[in-house]
Structure 1
């Protein structure tokens, strides 16, 4: 979050507030495309009910980094993990650009390492179950996230958003907070621990797909700028 914030300025954050259509479209697509896709994919592939529940659960998760069940804890966690780091990064970029230029090359590798650790932890916790279910849950998770990325972009374009906003919404819709939320909610909500397996597989699938999509978008933007 801090690394992301260091790519922004305070003017960028103010500008986001002036785009209610984009924000509302992203919110609606986030909580419609993925839950519906999770349900349809589980039906099409006819996966067992405990895996289907986990897949639909992944589709219902928001795209943030951490959520606590307690309301006050949710607010504090959101401030600590998302808002404060992003605002701090934007503040540094706005007023301490020499420092930002110095540390910026180190931030993406550090962020990538953090994501790798989280994904590795999720897979390790469910390794035996993942080996048992084989390619079925992997295929379902792949279709779920591919659907989120694809329809997030297409539907955003259909409601009149520009290409840049549609790409952003596509990534936001396709990426879900599956690992921490899944392992928090499943023990408290579902009786079968196998329900958490799609959450673990999803954390890796979306990291791969999301990174590939971000790279393609970045290459496309660079090519457009050269033209």
Structure 2
């Protein structure tokens, strides 16, 4: 039952976004909840991990290194170029770059499972990029938008450390100690993460309700294009380098799906509510595109197995 509810995440995100767009006054007062909710999401990620998960990095260093390089090169660069092409405002440019500069999102692990990709590898990639984002995200943001707006890179670094590393570490320690009690609750923690990100998206839509109605279609196209290029780039670059299809699918999902919740929080904390909007919309879109892609790949896998 919990898995079924979780698998409909894109639907819940869309429905709640419509609800908060029509009733912004119901969520604006929860603005202060955004940071605690992100911390909860990171804790839920940590509590499903064990130290043994990190040993996978030693088993597949090439594919993980490639994924991280693609993640932190393609996504911020494409975000910047697309923003300039669509002539987005400075605030939206910052939001787009933040989405590109953060780590892979935990939703990628769910999509990897649905797409019949390598889930263990996906989790490892997410953890590695999440930990690297503490150092990388602030300075990539500085590189791309530092000439446009002031970027407090060092402050961002400490914020990401507190928002990402500490909750993940605490969750991991708790899982190591109480593994046999927590193992059966992994689905519950996944659902808790989904509820949290849906609520974060709803708050951002509510805060930006007036601006959303006046935004051009160009922002929606920019966000969709950003995600699609990440997915295609991750898949075909990996394929050109000779990796198998299962690994290519895993990398594509990891590169194209971002920790947009973190992008939202950083935008709200250091820039503006409008800068948080690309992250909120990306959260909805990348789960829809990821679910569609997972459905296609899963069907292909079934047909392939049936033909053998």
Same fold (TM over 0.5): yes
| Contiguous gaps of at least 5 residues in structure 1 | none
Paired residue for 1:142? 224
Aligned-partner Cα distance in 1 for 2:302–2:75: 30
Is the counterpart of residue 50 in structure 1 residue 91 in structure 2? Answer: yes
Paired residue for 1:182? 264
| Residue among 158, 166, 170 paired with 2:248 | 166
CA shift for structure 1 position 165: 2.0
Tell which deviates more after alignment, 83-92 or 137-146. Answer: 83-92
CA shift for structure 1 position 126: 1.8
CA contact (8 A) 2:261 2:283 kept: yes
CA shift for structure 1 position 113: 2.6
Secondary structure of the structure 2 residue equivalent to 1:31? helix
* Number of equivalent positions: 221
CA contact (8 A) 1:2 1:88 kept: no
Change (3 A) 1:4 1:160: farther
| TM value normalised by structure 2 | 0.57
CA shift for structure 1 position 28: 0.8
Paired residue for 1:196? 276
Paired residue for 1:39? 80
| TM value normalised by structure 1 | 0.74
| Contiguous gaps of at least 5 residues in structure 2 | 1-41, 107-129, 135-153
Aligned-partner Cα distance in 1 for 2:305–2:276: 43
Cα RMSD after superposing both structures: 3.6
Secondary structure of the structure 1 residue equivalent to 2:104? coil
Paired residue for 2:290? 210
Aligned-partner Cα distance in 2 for 1:169–1:44: 26
Paired residue for 1:81? 167
Is the counterpart of residue 62 in structure 1 residue 103 in structure 2? Answer: yes
